[in-house]
Amino acid sequence: QLPFLDTGYFFYHNGIAKARRRRSLQHKLHLEKDSRVRKAVQQEGFSRRKRGYRDINDIDINMNDPLFTKQWYLINTGQADGTPGLDLNVAEAWELGYTGKGVTIGIMDDGIDYLHPDLASNYNAKASYDFSSNDPYPYPRYTDDWFNSHGTRCAGEVSAAANNNICGVGVAYNSKVAGIRMLDQPFMTDIIEASSISHMPQVIDIYSASWGPTDNGKTVDGPRELTLQAMADGVNKGRGGKGSIYVWASGDGGSYDDCNCDGYASSMWTISINSAINDGRTALYDESCSSTLASTFSNGRKRNPEAGVATTDLYGNCTLRHSGTSAAAPEAAGVFALALEA
């Protein structure tokens, strides 16, 4: 049974390895003939892309040296030729004792390296799930090119532990992070998106999504029927009736695209985030649209490797290379976590 539909059910055919509309048609027709069935829908696959995967030059990182001084978006002292003072202004919140304690952020992505020593202490296993593989262990699938590091990097921005001499510090470094793996299968489906967005809405306070339709300037796409219903249900009923908070990366198509064409970023149910670089200029890949509600920070104009976002990486590593609006959205989620605690 689907958690966001009182009378909805999802059937999975183990005998069909891939989505085959013709092979499934007879089952759909059989269901439609039943007088108890109001509507039967065959789930179709569609494309969803990770955002912000823009390389910055490789540099050597000493794992014994914390990256906090390189996290200019937390405290900008002019690192990488940035403008001093231009940052998220979270230091004052920390000094007041607000660090995200008691708040859980769900990272909807390609998984989280929950064994990472900078994430393990803040990982909420009970609130995590793998919808790509249908199990409770949302660990990223191994690839030679580390393509599936996206979710781990986003998680570190929000909830990396403080004062442990490992990598950097999360915006809300005492918050809990849940891994919702849903972005690593051959195709996306409405049921996977809806299940992810509606996963444990009374435990997860904030959902962070750094993905969406292809940013190619010609794709107009957005959430399907079940996902829209799950979003509306979360906003109206989640978080003890206060409403689930959905944070979305606005997109990296630049002047060739428009986030009004992205039904997730432009949704009335989401908070759309774009990015500025460390001197205040708009990132080159930012898309313009009226639905964008705020900007946080990422790289986007500079070749300096230290102008990127420092965070956790796969297999216990750290990186300075996280970027794009993919990096901006989790920062906003962290700021919202501080606000919820306050």
According to the model, what pLDDT value does residue 63 have? 29
What's the CA gap between 157 and 173, in Å, rounded?
9
- Do 251 and 312 have their domain in common? yes
157 CB burial (10 A radius; 0-12, 13-18, 19+): buried
Of 116, 150, 199, 322, catalytic: 150
According to the model, what pLDDT value does residue 52 have? 61
- Do 185 and 36 have their domain in common? no
| Helix (H) or strand (E) run with residue 274 in it | strand 270-276
pLDDT digits (tens, 9 = 90+) for 268-325: 999 999 999 999 999 988 888 888 999 999 986 777 878 899 999 999 999 998 998 9
Strand duo 104-109 + 206-209: pairing = parallel
Q: Which of 302, 307, 309 is nearest to 329 (CA)?
A: 309
According to the model, what pLDDT value does residue 16 have? 61
Domain residue limits at 119: 46-341
Tokens of 15: 């005998």
> Is residue 17 over pLDDT 50?
yes
- Do 103 and 121 have their domain in common? yes
Catalytic residue flag (residue 215): no
Instruction: Note whether 209 and 173 are within 8 A (CB).
Output: no
Count of the separate structural domains present in the chain: 2
Helix axes 190-197, 225-237, angle to 10 degrees: 10
pLDDT digits (tens, 9 = 90+) for 40-97: 888 888 888 877 644 434 433 332 447 999 999 999 989 999 999 999 999 889 888 8
C-alpha torsion angle, residues 59, 60, 66, 71 (rounded to 10): 0
Instruction: Note whether 118 and 172 are within 8 A (CB).
Output: no
Residue bearing the bigger pLDDT, 252 or 183 = 183
Q: Where are the alpha helices (DSSP H) in 1-149?
A: 21-33, 91-95
- Do 16 and 92 have their domain in common? no
- Do 124 and 189 have their domain in common? yes
pLDDT digits (tens, 9 = 90+) for 196-227: 999 999 999 999 999 999 888 899 999 999 99
The pTM of this model reads: 0.85
According to the model, what pLDDT value does residue 251 have? 87
CB neighbours of residue 237 within 10 Å: 16
- Do 154 and 261 have their domain in common? yes
Catalytic residue flag (residue 326): yes
- Percent of the chain past pLDDT 70, that is, above it, reads 94
> Is residue 4 over pLDDT 60?
yes
According to the model, what pLDDT value does residue 292 have? 92
Catalytic residue flag (residue 150): yes
- Do 36 and 50 have their domain in common? no
Of 149, 175, 196, 326, catalytic: 326
According to the model, what pLDDT value does residue 21 have? 67
- Do 272 and 313 have their domain in common? yes
Mean of pLDDT values over 152-176? 96
> Is residue 147 over pLDDT 90?
no
What's the CA gap between 225 and 105, in Å, rounded?
24
Longest Cα separation, the chain: 68
